[in-house]
Structure 1
Amino acid sequence: MMTLSSCPLRFEMEDFFCSQTGSSIACNFASSLVNIDRTVDAVKNFLDRRDIVISQFELVFVLREALNNAVIHGNDNDSSRRVDCTLRLARNTINITVTDQGKGFDWRRQLGRTPVATSTTSGRGLNAMLRYGFAMRFNAAGNTLYLTKKIR
């Protein structure tokens, strides 16, 4: 049986594709929560094979939040729509790009909101990404998220 860890350079299923180079991993998948798990596992496997100093909890939390936003909010859980996720390692930086096929959202208004109460069921993800030290920017439409964090 082929698994993500047994195929380090390329992994492909009907609704999930992932490839790696020495300094990057790129996944493209149909919008589903299972494919979010596959992407997170592939990224963890990729980073485990490199000497990267970053909190795995923080990275997984932020990555999962970005992918959940793309699948649930961006693509409206529509499995015919796809998500692209790329993680690139630069000298002292980790760069993550997540793009969905949705119409985007008003990220300027969202980032300008006062912090959301912890009792709410949504709306805390972007603030959490910032609290974990990730710099964040979006394309104009709001359907591509760029995250950057310094690493050692």
Structure 2
Amino acid sequence: MGNIERLDLEKITSQDHNSLEIISKLGENNLCPVETWILDRSKDCGFNCKDAEDIKWAAIEFVTNAIKHGNEMDSSKKVRLHTTKYQNVFYVAVEDEGKGFDLEYYRISAGRPGLNVSWATTDDFYNFGDNVVYLAKTLKE
């Protein structure tokens, strides 16, 4: 998919104002709307059911991590999701109110089954040491 720069991703995700905001609370009342929203957005962009499910599970993993680790389960803090399709790539941005983290550290460390599944089911992830993770899935035509 090539290397993408931070400004490119910020520009891409700001072009599509389709976003969702949830409180930092785990549970089906909070996560079910995220699942439905991600499935609808990815299917609207042309993904088949399997690929849409893959995107959903990767996004849910990052939303869960944002709630637990970024916002430290503080229900006064929000998690924001943004989606867009640029060319043939669908992007999901997951943003929390935490201090940020280094995705590369987690990419190379073992023992993170949720993140490992996320990496296996999507094409790429981006993080720039801040509090936003971008996942990318290419639409195969």
Q: State the TM-score bracket (shorter-chain normalisation).
A: 0.7 to 0.9
Name the CA distance, whole Å, in 2 between partners of 1:79 and 1:94: 29
Deviations 1:47-88 (A, max 9, x none): 444533362321121111111111111111111011110111
Cα separation, partners in 2 of 1:72 and 1:106, compared to 1, 3 Å:
same
Determine if the alignment matches structure 1 residue 57 to structure 2 residue 53: yes
Partner of 2:24: 31
Equivalent of residue 87 in structure 1, options 80, 83, 88: 83
Pairing 1:105-124 to 2, within 5 Å after superposition = 105-113=101-109, 115-116=110-111, 123-124=112-113
Higher gyration radius (CA): 1
Partner of 1:110, secondary structure, is: helix
Cα separation, partners in 2 of 1:48 and 1:132, compared to 1, 3 Å:
closer
Greater strand share, structure number: 1
Pairwise CA RMSD? 2.1
Cα separation, partners in 2 of 1:135 and 1:102, compared to 1, 3 Å:
same
Cα separation, partners in 2 of 1:50 and 1:134, compared to 1, 3 Å:
closer
Q: Which blocks of at least 5 consecutive residues in structure 1 are unaligned?
A: 1-22, 117-122
Cα separation, partners in 2 of 1:147 and 1:47, compared to 1, 3 Å:
closer
Compute the displacement of 1:44 (Å): 2.0
Compute the displacement of 1:131 (Å): 1.0
Contact 1:83 1:100 in 2 (8 A): yes
Pairing 1:2-151 to 2, within 5 Å after superposition = 25-33=18-26, 34-53=29-48, 55-113=51-109, 115-116=110-111, 123-141=112-130, 143-151=131-139
Cα separation, partners in 2 of 1:73 and 1:49, compared to 1, 3 Å:
same
**Percent identity of the aligned residues?**
23
Q: Which blocks of at least 5 consecutive residues in structure 2 are unaligned?
A: 1-15
Contact 2:81 2:94 in 1 (8 A): yes
Deviations 1:90-149 (A, max 9, x none): 231110100100122343322221x32xxxxxx2222222211330111223x2101111
